[in-house]
Amino acid sequence: MFFALPSLCFSQEGVIDSLENVIVVTDNDSIIMDTYNKLRRATYYSAPKKSQEYTFKYLEVAKKRQDSFHTAIANFYLGNSYVVQSNYKNALSHYLKSANYFEKRDSSRYSSVLNGIGAAYENSGNDSLSLKYFKKSQIISKSRRDLRRSAIALNNIGNIYKNRGDYKVAKEYMEKAVADIETTGREQYIIPLSINLANIYTDIKDYDKSILFFEKLLIQIDTVKDVYSYAAALRGLGTSNIAKGKNKLGLKYFEHAYKKYRISDFFDERYDMMPDLINAYKVNKKYSDGLRLYDEYNTIKDSIFSVEKDKNLTEALQKYESEKKDAQLKVLELEGEKSKQQKKLYLFVAIAGILIAVLLGFFGYKNRKKNIILDKHKRFLEATLDEKNTLLKEVHHRVKNSFQIVSSLLYLQSENIEDKEAKIAIKEAENRVRSMVLIHQRLYNKDELVGINTKDYFNDLVHDIIESHQFKKEKIQYELYIESLVLDIETITPIGLILNELIVNTLKHAFVEVHEDSKLVVRFSKENDRLVLKVIDNGKGFEGEIENTSFGITLMKALSKKLKANLNYFSEPSVGTKAVLDIKRFNILP
C-alpha cells in the first residue's frame, strides 16, 4: 500500500521537550489536545510506541471534552499506529469507530478511513475484504472529485492485483491512479504512483514504456529531497535495460541506484537489490565484482536469518517457566557455531574462487604450457570441491544434531509440565523443530547438499506427524500426491513448517472423532510459474474467517510473506476444509 510522508517531521528532542512543557503549564483542554496531536506527529517515525501513547492521551482529552470529531480523528490515528505494529485486529477496531462517525456526516475523511480499513485487511491476508473497502473509498473520493484520495485507492487496488500476479488488471488501475493524481499537481504523490506504474510495465515486459516513465521521473525528482524515489527510478531503469539486453547501460543504472541507497542508509532497499546487481555483474562478465557483492549479500542474509530465528525462539520460550532458559541459551550457542561454520565456508569458497581466477589469468599467457596448467587446475578444483562438500556436509550434520538436541529438550520439558496448554504448545514447537531436522538429515545422508526432494521429504514429514499424533481409536487415513521437485533450503524450510502447521491444525480441529471414512489429502505441484500446496480434509468444516490469534497462524503468515505466498481457506460445514498455499518466490534446483 502507498503512504505519503507527512509534510512536517518534528524529530528534534528540543521540540518534543517544549511541547511536553506546554501540557505542564496549561489547563486548557483544547491546547492540551492540540499539543498531544503535535507530539503524536513528532514521534510517528522516530518512536512509534511513544507516538501511540500520545495518541491515546489525545483520545482521552477529546472524550473528556465530548468532542466527537477529534475522538473520531484520534481513533483513525490509532488505527494507523496499530497497522505499523502489524496489530491488525486492534487497527480495525479503531478504524471502524472512526468510520462510523465520518460516514454519518458524509465527511471527505470517510474515504481515508476506508483506505485504512482496506490496508489492515490486506496486511492480514484478506484480499477480498481489502478490495471491497479500497473500491468503496475510490468511488466516494471520485464522486467528491477528491482525485488525490481516489488515486491512492486506485493504486492500492492495483497493488493487490499485482501481488496476485494479475498484472493486466493491476496496470489498468495504476494507469487510472496516475491519471487522477497528475491532475492534482502534487509531486509527493505523483512520483511514487508513477514509479509503481512503471514497475508494472516492467512486469508485463513492456520495457520501452517502462524506460520512458523512469527517464521522465529522473527529470522530475529532486535528488536532494527525495533520494529514495530517485534511487527507485534508477533501479527500474537498470531492470528494464538488462531485460532488453542493454547490459552495460543496465549495470550503470544499478550501480548508481545502489550507491544512492548506500549513502542514504536505505539498508533494506540496498539488500533487496543486491541479487539484481549481482546478476548485472554476471551478464557483463564482471565476475570479481559479482563475487565480492555475493559474499557481502550472503553475510547480511546469514545475519538477518539468525536475528529472525533468535527472535522467534525467544517469543515461543517466554511463555514457559524460567528453567527453559538453559535450552534457549543452548540453541543460541549452537546457532552461533553454525553461523561461524557457514562464514568460514563462504570465505574459503571466495578465496578459492579468487585464486582460481588469478591462476587462469596468469597461465593464459603461457600457451606453451596450457595443457599442463589446465590439468593441474582441474586436479586442484576437484580437491577444493571435495573439501567444500565435506565441510558443507559437516555443517548439515551439526545443524541436524543441534535441532535434535532442541527437540529432545522440548520433549523432556513437556514430560515435566502438568499444564495441558503449555504441554500442547511445547509439543507443537517440537513438531516444528522435527520438520527442520528432516531437512538437514536428508542433506547429510545424500549426495545432494543444497537441495531437498519434495516427494521424499513430504512423505516422511506427513508420516512423522501422523505417527506422533494421539488418536482415540484408529489413525486417520491420508493420501499424498506430491510432484518430485528439488528445492533449495530457503524454499523447502518455510513450506515444511507451514505444511506441519496445516496438518496439525487439521488433526486438532477438523474431526470431532476419527473414523474409517476420515481422510486427509495433501497435494503439491508446480502450476505455471507457481508452486501450489493443498491440504484437504473431509472433516466438520467451519463458517466465517479464521481468527489470527494463535502462534501457529502468526507463524504461517510470517513464513508466507517470506515465500511471497497467499494462504487461503475454503470450507463448508459438514463437507470439509481446503487450505491452499500459492507460492510465488521459490528456487527449483536442476
pLDDT digits (tens, 9 = 90+) for 141-152: 888 888 988 999
Name the residue with cell 545502489: 258
Give me the pLDDT at residue 252, please.
Answer: 94
CATH class of 206-284: mainly alpha
Neighbours of 165 (CB within 10 A): 15
- Please say if the pLDDT value at position 342 is more than 90: no
What is the predicted pLDDT for the residue at 349? Answer: 72
pLDDT attached to residue 321: 47
pLDDT at 22: 86
Q: pLDDT of 421-430, one tens digit each?
A: 666 667 667 6
Give the span between the Cα atoms of 230 and 256, in whole angstroms.
10
Span 86-185 CATH architecture: Alpha Horseshoe (1.25)
Report d(CA 321, CA 511) in Å as an integer: 32
Here the cell at position 6 is: 507527512
Write down the pLDDT at residue 4.
36
The mean pLDDT value of the chain amounts to 80
Q: What's the average model confidence in pLDDT over 435-450?
A: 59
Phi, psi of 581 (to 5 degrees): -105, 115
Residue pair 484/494 in contact (Cβ under 8 Å)? The answer is no
Phi-psi region at 403: left, alpha or beta (left = phi > 0; alpha = psi -120 to 50): alpha
Q: What is the pLDDT of residue 6?
A: 34
Per-residue confidence (pLDDT) for residue 11, from 0 to 100: 41
CA quadruple 549, 552, 553, 554: dihedral sign: positive
Residues 6 or more apart in contact with residue 171 via CB below 8 angstroms: 158, 197, 200, 201, 204
Q: How far apart are CA 114 and CA 76, in angstroms?
A: 10
**C-alpha closest to that of 352 among 373, 372, 380:** 380
Grid cell for residue 466 = 501422523
pLDDT at 361 > cutoff 60: yes
> What's the confidence (pLDDT) of residue 242?
93
Predicted local distance difference test score (pLDDT) of residue 377: 62
- Tell me: pLDDT of 396 over 60: no
At 190, the pLDDT band (50, 70, 90 cuts) reads confident
> Between the CA of residue 308 and those of 83, 479, 563, what are the distances in Å?
20, 34, 15
Q: Alpha helix (H) ranges present in 318-453?
A: 325-364, 370-415, 420-445
**Rounded CA gap, 522 and 556, in Å?**
17
Question: At 571, is the secondary structure helix, strand, or coil?
Answer: strand
Question: Which distant-in-sequence residues (6+ apart) come within 8 Å of 212 by Cβ?
Answer: none
The CATH fold of domain 452-590:
Heat Shock Protein 90 (3.30.565)
**What number is the average pLDDT over the span 219-240?**
85
Cα 433 to Cα 317: distance, rounded to the nearest angstrom: 13
pLDDT of 248 > 60? The answer is yes
pLDDT of residue 540 exceeding 60, the answer is yes
Buried b / exposed e across 127-146, counting CB within 10 Å, b at 16+?
A: bebbbebbbbbbebbbeeeb
Least confident of 204-208, 308-312, 335-339, 539-543: 308-312
Question: What Cα–Cα distance (Å) separates residue 344 from each residue in 120, 340, 352, 395?
Answer: 43, 6, 12, 11
pLDDT band at 549 (very low <50, low <70, confident <90, very high): low
Residue 452: phi and psi, rounded to 5, are -125, 135
Q: Which residue has the higher pLDDT, 56 or 352?
A: 56
The pLDDT > 90 percentage for the chain reads 28
Residue matched to cell numbers 548485472: 280
Lowest mean pLDDT among 262-276, 526-540, 575-589: 262-276
Let me know: does 241 contact 256? Beta carbons within 8 Å: no
Q: Rounded to 5 degrees, what are φ and ψ at 481?
A: -125, 90
> Can you give the pLDDT at residue 524?
96
Say what the pLDDT of residue 492 is. Answer: 87
pLDDT band with cut points at 50, 70 and 90 for residue 481: very high
Q: What pLDDT, on the 0 to 100 scale, is given for residue 317? A: 47
Beta bridge partners of 577: 537, 571
pLDDT reading at 463 higher than 50: yes
Instruction: Report the pLDDT value the prediction gives residue 480, as an integer from 0 to 100.
Output: 95
Q: Which residue has the higher pLDDT, 181 or 390?
A: 181
Mean pLDDT of 447-452: 65
The mean pLDDT of 443-459, rounded to a whole number, is 72
SS3 content of the chain, % helix, strand, coil (to 5): 70, 10, 20
Torsions phi, psi for 45 (to 5 deg): -95, -35
Least confident of 358-362, 367-371, 382-386, 544-548: 382-386
The per-residue pLDDT for 296 is: 86
The whole-angstrom separation of Cα 432 and Cα 406 is 11
Mean pLDDT of 318-343: 61
pLDDT classification of 309: cutoffs 50, 70, 90: low
Say yes or no to pLDDT of 582 above 70: yes
pLDDT of residue 7: 34
Q: Where are the alpha helices (DSSP H) in 446-539?
A: 454-468, 489-509
What SS3 class is residue 519?
strand
pLDDT over 80 at 249, yes or no: yes
- Helix, strand, or coil here: 211? helix
